[in-house]
Amino acid sequence: CHKIWEDDDFLAFLSIFPNTEGFTLLITKEHHDSYIFNLEDDLLHKFILAAKHIAKLLDTKLDDVSRTGLIFESSGIDHAHIKLIPMHGTSNISKWKPTTTYLDKYFKKYEGYLSSHESLRKDDKELEKTAKKIRLQ
């Protein structure tokens, strides 16, 4: 593997199937279920701190990057992993400003990838129906 960092608990390496330069995988050295929200809280906390460290490496070592995205997708392999994706073209951001992408694409089921794009405005009645389904009563 093309290792970029490791400690006693975690290993970070470059993806061999990147969709952008520096796409990194952070994994636990011990086997854990791929759904990281099943991890014990102390391990999850350490995992997030390790991801923060890797994100800062990517932000400082890649010329046009000052932000890194993070995905806990829990697919592809059955082993706890975090995907860190450098956001190229963000190094010239001197003051935060919103960046949005609107696509007329709404997912009714998981298609093998996650997307953070915004879609069309959802009707408030539909949103309330979903909120009622999710929230604690």
Q: What is the pLDDT of residue 137?
A: 67
**Secondary structure element (H or E) that encloses residue 111, with its range:** none
Higher pLDDT, 83 or 119: 83
pLDDT of residue 55: 98
The span from the CA of 109 to the CA of 40, in Å, is 28
- pTM of the full structure: 0.89
Beta-carbon contacts of residue 78 (< 8 Å; ≥ 6 apart): 33, 34
**pLDDT tens-place string over residues 118-137:** 888 999 999 999 999 999 76
Position 136 scores a pLDDT of: 75
Beta strands across the sheet bearing 81-88: 3-6, 10-14, 24-28, 81-88, 65-71
Res. 95: pLDDT tops 80: no
What structural domains and CATH numbers belong to the chain?
A: 3-88 (3.30.428.10)
